Amino acid sequence: MSNFIGQTRLAYARVWHQVDLSKETRTLGRLASSIALTLMGKHKPIFDPANDCGDYVVVTNCNLLKTSGNKLEKKVYRSHSGRPGHLKEITMKRLAAKKGFGEILRKAVSGMLPKNRLRQVRLERLRTFEGATHPFKKNIVTYWAEEKKVIDYNKLDK
């Protein structure tokens, strides 16, 4: 008798998703929460918090990231080394100029992932690119558009 029920192997397979921010209408927080859910694997029927069954996410056109309000000027990222007087602060605008908008999206997604040993492993599966080109075109199976996950089955054969 088989230990597998249904297509369990397919559920454990890691799928590559692409998010193109030129076609996306969601703001930073809403986008980051859906990316975090995909990295954790909560969209799969076999989800278990202790197992890492999430997928890869490739985000293109990060320079078109949308934020609400005056977050670019007012949002401050802080880091502290633990030594007195070593508090470092940087605004979102300066961070975007220094490291790009991909780093801002990565920090937002990181804050929405569970704080455990799997956090870094899941974040490594998030790939961000400032432009439209990326080296993972052959791997992409699912394209996101307008808050819906759309699977293009015609490109699966290629």
Looking up residue 32, the CATH number of its domain turns out to be 3.90.1180.10
- How confident is the model at residue 124, as a pLDDT? 96
Considering the domain boundaries, does residue 37 fall inside one? Answer: yes
DSSP assignments along 86-107, one per residue: -EEEEEHHHHHHHH-HHHHHHH
pLDDT for 104: 97
Residue 1 — very low, low, confident or very high, per pLDDT cuts 50/70/90?
Answer: very low
Strand (E) or helix (H) holding 76? strand 76-80
Residue 150 falls inside a structural domain: yes
In a domain, 45, yes or no: yes
Determine phi and psi for 34, rounding to 5 degrees: -70, -35
- What are 43-92's pLDDT values in tens digits? 888 888 888 889 999 999 999 999 999 999 999 999 999 999 999 999 99
Do the domain assignments include residue 63?
yes
Q: 5-16: per-residue pLDDT in tens? A: 556 666 678 899
Examine residue 1 and state whether it is found in any structural domain, yes or no.
no
Q: Which residue range(s) make up the domain with 98?
A: 13-155
Report the predicted TM-score, pTM, of the whole model to 2 decimal places.
Answer: 0.85
Residue 7 included in any domain? no
